[in-house]
Amino acid sequence: MSSLLLVESGSTKTDWCLIKKTGRPIHFKTSGINPYLQSKKEILDLLSNELEWDSKKHSSDNIVFYGAGAAKPEHQEKLVKVLQAYFSVKKIEVYGDMMAAARAMCGEKKGIVSILGTGSNSCYYNGKKIAEQQCSLGFIAGDEGSGNYMGKRILQYYAYNTFDEELKMAFEQRFGNDLVGIIKRLYKEPFPNRYLATFVQLLKENRGHYMVENIVEDCLNDFFHFHILKYRQSWKLPLYFTGSVAHEFRDVIERLCGQYELELGDIEKSPIEALIRYHRENLT
């Protein structure tokens, strides 16, 4: 294998990276790809419209795709067919986003690995494979600690008049005051989880306000309570986090680890750079 197209996709964005044994990787970006939420045609249209891939300039012997919604065999099969049709590459491997996070954060070490981005997920990784994974109820009933989960809480605080005047004004300045329009967009347009996650910007911009700190800590504590603490290995092994929410609110994660007397391993915004190193070592 002389070249590899490495793909790491969340619900909001996808990182594409063409790597070889030597030389600098070539990076591309598109919107998120999720075979659970998108049809083959929608994914192909996304690639045609957003991926700046020139088949005359770029070529790959192999594709390794990691993504949200890509852990189940039927979703992996869908992605393999789409990628084969678009790239004309025979060798394609598809894994869920948890495997990307585990390989990137742990390499060949054991650990509890968590994703906190638009959505959330977690697993116990034994250094070779995902040995245990807590159930995920997805973006409607689960996603504790994620941008989607925090977005719901923010919208509730605004709609139910829980925010004080300062935060109410901050919300309206950024997102408007048309609650009917917000609800319509939430229930009538695609990717409500992405839309809810945009509300997290309000938290980022108002750190220090007691309501903001309460929302962040309550949502992340729910993730610890319903997920991390369910792994008996969490008391013995370090915890690793990746994702935009984990990166943004790392101080709260550090505080919760101290509160529960758990060892924090590392927090990274994106697993892509570590994945590049992981796969480059296996290139021939």
Q: What is the pLDDT of residues 173-224, one digit of tens each?
A: 999 999 999 999 999 998 899 999 999 999 999 999 999 999 999 999 999 9
What pLDDT score was predicted for residue 21? 74
pTM given for the model:
0.84
DSSP annotation of 228 reads: G
- Domains defined for the chain, CATH in brackets: 3-100+272-280 (3.30.420.40)
Q: 17 φ, ψ to 5°?
A: -145, 120
Report pLDDT for 284: 60
- Helices H / strands E in the chain, number of each: 13, 10
Overall average pLDDT of the 52-79 stretch: 87
Q: Is the pLDDT higher at 54 or at 199? A: 199
pLDDT of residue 20: 81
Give the mean pLDDT of 227-245. 96
Q: What percent of the chain has pLDDT over 70?
A: 99
Position 271 scores a pLDDT of: 84
Q: Calculate mean pLDDT across residues 24-30.
A: 90
Dihedral, CA atoms, 9, 269, 50, 142, nearest 10 degrees? 50
Mean of pLDDT values over 108-136: 93
What is the identity of the amino acid at 168? Answer: K
> Which residue would you say has higher pLDDT here, 212 or 119?
212
